[in-house]
Structures are given as structure tokens and as C-alpha cells.
Amino acid sequence: MAKVAERKPYHVDLAELMRTYETNYAKLNALIPNNASVGDVRCYQAASMTYQIQVGEVTKYTTLVDICQSDDVPVFPLPKMSVRLYHDARVAEVCECAHLKRINARYDYPNDKMVQQDEKAQLNRFLGDWLTFCLRHGISRTPINI
């Protein structure tokens, strides 16, 4: 007789998520201008793709940046993301993505929006991979003032 596989409930790995936030903060700080102000834009050419990081909000302890692909015809479309940098905690997290206005730490599955149980972790890992790609292969199209 066949045995039905038992599905274990998904639990957020907080330690891994915080490591991802911390490394994303360090990587993103290397790509945005020092003393950023609202409206600052940085464009990076990586391979045949152009990516844009725009500062949308600056407060005493946080900075909100929007990241998008700015090619006329994207080869591999990057979803538009909003990322909040928390300077006191030195972490950065994806707080909004093209298809999600608010990203929960965990989702029931299946669901109406067809998002994965660990959608937040996946988006933040994707951001980390993208930032690494820009740091390794990207050329700034904007002069960087130090």
C-alpha cells in the first residue's frame, strides 16, 4: 500500500533571512551614492542590460530605493522592486515587488496570488544575486562622486 507523504509546515529561517538582509545592505550601499538624496539615480550597464537604482525616500534611519531594468527591450526582465535600507540595523529588505505591494514573511499555499510560501526569502535572495552581478560585471553609467 502506498504511503502518502507528510507535508511539513513551512517555517521562516530568521537567521538566514537576516544574513541575506545584512549582505544585501552592504552590496546596495556600494551601488548607491554616499549621502543619497531623493531623486538620485544610478544606472549600471551589465552585459547588454541596463539597470537603474533610484532613491525614492530618505529619512534619518532609512532609505527607500526603487530598482528596475531600464532597457527598451529587456532581455531578462527584472521585476521593479522597492528596497528599504535600515541604517541603524544595517539591513536591506525588499518591501515591494511588481506583483506584490506588501510582502509577507510566509504565505499559505496554494493561494489566490500563486506566490510561494517563502516568497519573501526568494525575493531577497534574488536581490542579493542581482546586486552581486552588478558589482562584479556592472559599469556605472553615472560618475560616482566619493
Q: Domain boundaries in the chain? A: 14-29+39-141
CA angle 27, 30, 33 (to 5 degrees): 135
Which parts of the chain fold into alpha helices (H)? 14-31, 119-137
Strand runs labelled E in the chain: 41-46, 49-58, 62-69, 81-86, 91-97, 138-140
- pLDDT tier, 64 (very low <50, low <70, confident <90, very high otherwise): very high
**pLDDT tens for each residue of 90-138:** 999 999 887 777 777 666 777 677 777 788 888 999 999 999 988 988 8
Q: Is pLDDT at 89 greater than 80 in this prediction? A: yes
